[in-house]
Amino acid sequence: MPKAIQIDQHGGPEVLKFVDVDVAAPGPDEVRIRQHAIGLNYIDTYYRTGLYPSPLPHGLGFEGAGVVEEVGASVKRLKVGDRVAYGQSPLGAYAEVRNVPAHQLVKLPSWISFEQAAASMLKGLTTQYLFRQTYRLQGDETILFHAAAGGVGLFACQWARALGVKLIGTVSSPEKAKLAREHGAWETIDYSHENVAERVLELTGGKKVPVVYDGVGKDTWEASLDSVQARGLVVSFGNASGPVTGVNLGILAQKGSIYVTRPTLGTHVATAEKLQAAADELFGLIKSKDIVVQIDQRFPLSQAAEAHRALESRKTTGSTIFTLD
Ligand code: NDP
């Protein structure tokens, strides 16, 4: 029987159980995939803890790559043997074999490996929508991006460099600062001991930035509001330090008519066409080597709990994948 990670209660990494699972035949619009690599993402920890609630028991994970084993009766675009990947799916990517709705899959170009795809579909497509849809960067801008040495962070550093955008990245150590710079960050701020808003003011000659991308949440929210220009945009897209709650909207007026948005990847790749367009842009940058997919950690799927501990204790950099072979 195929194996998968399941949880039957919310909690710490110890609730992740590596168990035998029965995988049903794919529904009419689904495809059954034998997976070769799976991506770890911070969002997986939110579902594990229950911060994002889902009825128990359930699997975990949204990102993976593998080979089509069976297609549902209505699926025309894909066939058995196709190499495919996804970064947005029903919960359950932490599995050897699984079913995914066909419209959430892209066919992989031959030059991209399963590991590269599983490390970039969620993080790279997130960077695509953040930089090209939520606030369309043009180049010649200076922006602030939190957790710049993380999974999404290293895509963001490289994508910004490719666009000619100066990315100021926050990090928590000198090693992470070096990594972010090597991947294209223009400047870094170590938010473990530097004042982010003051440094942004210095680095921008008093102008601040037109857009802040904040996946850290609770701990950086205030600094984000203080770093953005009047009528600028704060894109709050994650909660690595905890969710932002209890905001008095009046603060946006006080800081200068600030805009705030809280986007998700799912709403940006909701159709096969939108997903393909975003993936084409991402794959183009990987092919041209403007973006190198940085896989810094690999764990066997059976050790998913260890991977969660590493991610939550800020020990990881770049992408982390689960291996299956
Ligand atoms: P990362 O690899 O970036 O890991 C999170 C990083 O956040 C850590 O490495 C750490 O970097 C930083 N961090 C700051 N404070 C804390 C804290 N208290 N505990 C743990 N980490 C902290 O994760 P991902 O690339 O998977 O995701 C980054 C963020 O983007 C997450 O919040 C995630 O939920 C969000 N996201 C949102 C999406 C959306 O569509 N809305 C899609 C994809 C991701 P450092 O040590 O340098 O501070």
Ligand 1 atom closest to the CA of 176, numbered from 1: 47
Ligand 1 atom closest to the CA of 219, numbered from 1: 15
Ligand 1 atom closest to the CA of 237, numbered from 1: 41
* Assigned CATH for 139-261: 3.40.50.720
Using the mean position of ligand 1's atoms as its centre, give its distance from the Cα of residue 240 in Å: 5
pLDDT digits (tens, 9 = 90+) for 305-315: 999 999 999 99
Nearest CA to ligand 1 atom 15: 241
Using the mean position of ligand 1's atoms as its centre, give its distance from the Cα of residue 69 in Å: 33
Q: What pLDDT score does 18 carry?
A: 97
Q: What pLDDT score does 53 carry?
A: 93
Using the mean position of ligand 1's atoms as its centre, give its distance from the Cα of residue 271 in Å: 26
Nearest CA to ligand 1 atom 12: 147
ipTM of the complex: 0.99
Regions of the chain where pLDDT drops below 70: 325
Q: What pLDDT score does 58 carry?
A: 97
Q: What pLDDT score does 102 carry?
A: 97
Q: What pLDDT score does 229 carry?
A: 98
Distance CA 261, CA 30 (A): 32
If one counts every other C-beta atom within 10 angstroms of the C-beta of residue 205, the result is 8
Q: Contact at 8 Å (CB) between 95 and 3?
A: yes
**Numbered ranges of CATH 3.90.180.10 in the chain:** 3-121+275-323
Q: What pLDDT score does 310 carry?
A: 98
pTM score, whole prediction: 0.98
Structure tokens at 156: 């963001």
Strand boundaries in the chain, DSSP class E: 3-7, 17-20, 30-40, 58-59, 64-71, 83-86, 97-101, 106-107, 142-145, 166-171, 187-190, 209-214, 228-236, 259-261, 295-300, 319-323
Distance CA 275, CA 308 (A): 27
The DSSP element (H or E) to which 77 belongs, if any, is none
Q: Hey, what CATH topology would domain 3-121+275-323 get?
A: Quinone Oxidoreductase; Chain A, domain 1 (3.90.180)
Q: What pLDDT score does 325 carry?
A: 63
Distance CA 292, CA 158 (A): 8
If one counts every other C-beta atom within 10 angstroms of the C-beta of residue 300, the result is 13
The owner of tokens 């690599």 is 37
Using the mean position of ligand 1's atoms as its centre, give its distance from the Cα of residue 41 in Å: 8
Using the mean position of ligand 1's atoms as its centre, give its distance from the Cα of residue 159 in Å: 17
Task: Select from 43, 86, 171, 192 the residue to mutate for testing ligand 1; criterion: most ligand atoms less than 8 Å from CB.
Answer: 43
Q: What pLDDT score does 84 carry?
A: 98
**Numbered ranges of CATH 3.40.50.720 in the chain:** 139-261
If one counts every other C-beta atom within 10 angstroms of the C-beta of residue 289, the result is 9
Using the mean position of ligand 1's atoms as its centre, give its distance from the Cα of residue 169 in Å: 13
Q: Contact at 8 Å (CB) between 70 and 103?
A: no
The dihedral through the CA atoms of 69, 67, 87, 2 has a sign that is positive
Output DSSP code: residue 139: S
Distance CA 309, CA 278 (A): 31
Using the mean position of ligand 1's atoms as its centre, give its distance from the Cα of residue 239 in Å: 7
**Ligand 1 pocket, residues with Cβ under 6 angstroms:** 41-43, 122-123, 126, 147, 149-153, 171-172, 176, 215-216, 219, 237-241, 263-265, 311-312, 314, 316
